[in-house]
Chain A
Amino acid sequence: MSENRLEIRKTYKLLVNGAFPRSESGRTYEVVDAEGKFIANVAQASRKDLREAVVAARAAQAKWWSQSAYNRGQVIYRLAEMAESRHAEIAEAVELSEGVKSKEARKSVSRGIDRMVWYAGWTDKIAQVFGGANPVAGPFFNFSLPVPSGVVAAVAHPTNSFEGLIDVTFGAIAAGNSVIVLASSDRPVPAVLLGEMSAVSDFPGGVLNILTGKVEELAPVMASHEDIDGLDIGCVQATEHTALISAAAGSIKRVFEGQGFDETTAVRRLRTFIETSTVWHTKGQ
Chain B
Amino acid sequence: MTSSALRLVTPDSTGIEIPTRKNLPTFVTESGLRTELKKLSGIDAVGAEARIAKLSTRSLKKETKKYAIDLAISMVDLTTLEGADTAGRVASLCTKAMHPDANNLSVPSVAAVCVYPDMVANARAVIGSSPVHVASVSTAFPSGRASLAVKLLDTKDAVEAGADEIDMVIDRGAFLSGNLFKVYEEIVAVKAVCGTAHLKVILETGELVTYDNVRKASWLAMLAGADFIKTSTGKVGVNATLPVALVMLEAVRDFAEEYGELVGVKVAGGIRTTKDALKYLVVVNETAGSSWLTPEYFRFGASSLLNDLLLQRTKQLSGNYARPDRFSGD
Contacts and interface: CB of A to CB of B under 8 A. Distances in A.
Contact of B324 (A221, A224, A227, A250): A227
Nearest to A221: B321
Nearest to A47: B321
Contacts, number: 21
B322 A227 contact: yes
B321 A250 contact: no
A225 B321 contact: yes
Interface string A214-229: 0000000100111100
A54 interface: yes
| Majority secondary structure, B binding face | loop
B114 to A, nearest CB: 26
Contacts of A250: 320
Interface in B273-330: 319-324, 326
A90 to B, nearest CB: 33
Contacts of B324: 58, 227
Nearest to A226: B323
Contacts of B320: 224-226, 250-251
B314 to A, nearest CB: 9
A45 B322 CA distance: 19
Nearest to A250: B320
Contact of A54 (B319, B321, B326): B321
A16 to B, nearest CB: 15
A91 B322 CA distance: 40
Interface residues of B, number: 7
Contacts of B326: 226
Contacts of B321: 51, 54, 221, 224-227
Interface string A116-152: 0000000000000000000000000000000000000
Interface string A168-183: 0000000000000000
A251 B323 CA distance: 9
A227 B323 contact: yes
B321, B324, B326: residue with the most chain A Cβ atoms closer than 10 Å: B321
B174 to A, nearest CB: 42
Interface in A205-263: 221, 224-227, 250-251
A51 B319 CA distance: 13
B322 A226 contact: yes
Interface in A81-102: none
Contacts of A251: 320, 323
Nearest to B275: A48
A221 B315 CA distance: 11
Interface hub of A221, A224, A225, A226 (most chain B Cβ within 10 A): A226
A54 to B, nearest CB: 7
Nearest to B321: A225
A99 B324 CA distance: 44
A58 B311 CA distance: 15
A65 B27 CA distance: 63
Contacts of A58: 324
A158 B198 CA distance: 62
Interface in A30-72: 51, 54, 58
A250 B323 CA distance: 12
A225 B319 CA distance: 9
Interface in B58-74: none
A218 to B, nearest CB: 12
A51 B324 CA distance: 12
Nearest to A225: B321
Contacts of A226: 320-323, 326
A250 B314 CA distance: 14
A255 to B, nearest CB: 16
A219 to B, nearest CB: 14
A221 B326 CA distance: 18
5 contacts: A224-B320, A225-B320, A226-B320, A226-B323, A227-B323
Interface of A: 51, 54, 58, 221, 224-227, 250-251
Interface of B: 319-324, 326
Which 6 residue pairs are nearest across A and B when measured between Cβ atoms?
A226-B323, A224-B320, A225-B321, A227-B323, A226-B322, A51-B321
Given A225-B320, A226-B321, 10 more contacts: A51-B321, A58-B324, A221-B321, A224-B321, A226-B322, A226-B326, A227-B321, A227-B323, A227-B324, A250-B320
